[in-house]
Structure 1
Amino acid sequence: MSFCHDVINVSCVKSNWSNDTRATLYSLMVLVILTTLVGNLIVIISVSHFKQLHTPTNWLIHSMATVDFLLGCLVMPYSMVRSVEHCWYFGEVFCKIHTSTDIMLSSASIFHLSFISIDRYYAVCDPLRYKARISILVILVMIFISWSVPAIFAFGMIFLELNVKGAEEIYYKHVHCIGGCSVFFGKTPGVLAFMTSFYIPGSIMLCIYYRIYFIAKRQARSINNANQKFQIGLEEKNGISQSKERKAAKTLGIVMGVFLICWCPFFVCTVTDPFVEYTIPPTLNDVLIWFGYLNSTFNPMVYAFFYPWFRRALKMILLGNIFQKDSSRCKLLS
């Protein structure tokens, strides 16, 4: 048995995985990190560079991509070493900074997803008043809330040690050790983190997308009824509306499916662990944290790769055409 620190009595135990296992884990995690960085960086460059993409919705997507890029840049590399080695080599103060930044950026990413769902609701369900309701000022308020609330919550929780409140004895006797940096929550802080970072924004997303789907379905039926009344290209129009309905259902299913698959297991374990006397293995918790990180990897694919403008922007970036004169004025939207 090997230890993270020289003082064996108070040191965390190092992982006993073989070198091949460690190499495999490092390779997989580096791949996730690079995919996260590249995907979100392309979104950031696309929205920043092309003037046609300077819309309120796209600035919200740009802000989310920035959050996810910073998560891949500032958080994931250190989490990778901790997950593979089961040791923290970067000091106790930086542990608090890393944990706070991790919670902040992960929560901010989820907040952005929630606000994007609100933006999509007005775009689909109230298109005539969309521009009046979702102005650039409203988007800036959404972005400000998405960054500030998670920052205050995360740094306040960790630096004031509110996350261990009510479970100090268990934490300092059985969890805390030199050379470790675990994310720990007591019962009340765990429920608070679950509600703030996952349940409330997740419920908003679920309710709004559920409503969007049924309003889109109703709109498709209205089109069908109009077509039946006028008997103009009935079969062809029905096919188009049904196709749009299926596409809307598929897109919303992917959005919610990716979010729930990535984050639900981690937050469920976080909120239940204190109530089952912290019997959930740390290794499982690490795996679930990385599942959560994958949401930031998939976000640019879900929210940008499905758009034709993104594919055109990607092609121009890869070919180096963005360095040509007036490339920022290129038309990406038909």
Structure 2
Amino acid sequence: MARDELYSQVETVISACLMAACICCTIVGNILVIMSVFTYKPLRCVSNYFIISLAVADLMVAVLVMPFHVVHYVSGHWVFGEVFCNMWLTFDILACTASILNLCAIATDRYYAIHDAINYAQKRTSKRVLVTISAVWFVSVVISAPPLLGWNNSGGRNLYDIHSRSCELTNNRGFVIYSALGSFYIPLLIMAFIYANIFLATRKRLRARSQHPTHVGHMTSLSSDGAKNDGCLTHLVSSCAKGERSSETSAQSDQANDFTDSDKALDSGEGAPEQPNMHMLRLLEQKHQFSLSKERRAARTMAIIIGVFVLCWLPFFLIYVIFPFCPSCAANAGGRLVTFIVWLGYVNSSLNPIIYTIFNIDFRKSFKQLLQCKCKR
């Protein structure tokens, strides 16, 4: 018995340390994202408002939700009373829902930036983006507020049980379906549809370029010149450069700028013979290969985004929906498994700053500057 108790204590300490490390990573990562957008000039573009909103939601998860879950886990019961129990569960639903809906808003923004690049670059104003972000947070409040307004547990019980000193999400079947659809399943369908379309469009472009490399290489230079003032999309692989560019051409324009002068010479015929020399052809081929590589990385990044999102949140929303309709399933589920699944969802808030910034060179530069500055101090 003593051995089992010691094992249990060691397990609790290790789990609490891992949870604390997750909290620290989430806080540091999202603060770096917010500071980067405000302090690093190339990142100050309208589309990055979505990244800030996502970082704020994930920061709320780390500050207002995770620490109290750790205390609840270590102590074995809720120690903060009924009022704060209601507030904590509300913040839990609000912050996690806002994080998921911000991911959906980012996906939608990228979709329109690719499929209607020129028109959407003009429509993507600060006011329009802020209205979209406000709608995301409003929907999150609408989804999280009902338990406070009386849509509580079945049988008229409150979220906080004074006898067992437990604080748990409502198991009212109506609210469970309502919140699960709004917080996860509908956003999941939207994101899957959007990224599937983006992936198919990317693969179609890759095939077209593979069949016509020289022609595409020539057209890449033309499109990169005309794209410098289009909308900036930093979410996945593009960078906010001087002025905003459309996401469709951003994957090509970074390297293409190195060849702009040479391409203009070819287009205008100035300083070039009637037949392009081998040097120019090699430049075009190099640019074409780089463009294909960027497109492939973009496709892989999309797969990572949707894969990590599903991996982190699907287990939680499965048990969230199943348990109210299957009491025996809830009774037989081990506490360790439930805790692991809950924290797997929280981990998504730790991974978002990595996924949405590590593939962007400007964010990497900004992180490096911020961290070096802090280390020097």
TM-score by length of 2: 0.74
Alignment of 1:272 onto 2:259: no
Amino acid at match of 1:178: S
Q: Distance in 2 between matches of 1:275 and 1:316?
A: 51
Per-residue CA deviations over 1:265-313 (Å, capped at 9, x if unaligned) read 0001111111212522362332211110000000000001221111111
**1:10 aligns to what?**
none
Alpha-carbon shift at residue 236 of structure 1 (Å): 5.0
Q: Is the 8 A contact 1:227 1:237 kept in 2?
A: no
Q: Of the candidates 43, 48, 53, which is equivalent to residue 58 of structure 1?
A: 48
Per-residue CA deviations over 1:132-190 (Å, capped at 9, x if unaligned) read 232222210121012121112212x22123142xx327x67xx8743111123222211
Structure-to-structure mapping, 1:3-18, within 5 angstroms: 18=8
Compare CA radii of gyration and give the structure with the larger one: 2
Q: Secondary structure at the match of 2:166?
A: coil
Alignment of 1:160 onto 2:153: no
**1:102 aligns to what?**
92
**1:69 aligns to what?**
59
Q: Of the candidates 127, 132, 136, which is equivalent to residue 142 of structure 1?
A: 132
Q: Distance in 2 between matches of 1:162 and 1:259?
A: 28
Gaps of 5+ in 1: 2-14, 325-334
**1:304 aligns to what?**
357
Q: Secondary structure at the match of 1:37?
A: helix
Say which is worse superposed, 21-30 or 38-47, in terms of deviation.
21-30
Q: Of the candidates 165, 177, 202, which is equivalent to residue 191 of structure 1?
A: 177
Moved segments of 4+, more than 6 Å? 321-324
Alpha-carbon shift at residue 75 of structure 1 (Å): 0.9
TM-score by length of 1: 0.83
Q: Distance in 2 between matches of 1:198 and 1:16?
A: 39
Q: Is the 8 A contact 1:190 1:270 kept in 2?
A: yes
Q: Distance in 1 between matches of 2:83 and 2:216?
A: 71
Structure-to-structure mapping, 1:180-259, within 5 angstroms: 180-227=166-213, 236=286, 239-259=289-309
For the aligned residue pairs, the C-alpha RMSD in angstroms reads 2.7
Q: Distance in 1 between matches of 2:140 and 2:59?
A: 16
Q: Of the candidates 290, 302, 310, which is equivalent to residue 260 of structure 1?
A: 310
Q: Is the 8 A contact 2:323 2:329 kept in 1?
A: yes
Change (3 A) 1:289 1:230: closer
Q: Secondary structure at the match of 1:162?
A: coil
Q: Is the 8 A contact 2:61 2:95 kept in 1?
A: yes
Amino acid at match of 2:320: T
**2:71 aligns to what?**
81
Q: Is the 8 A contact 2:209 2:216 kept in 1?
A: no
Amino acid at match of 1:162: W
Alpha-carbon shift at residue 230 of structure 1 (Å): 8.2
Gaps of 5+ in 2: 218-280
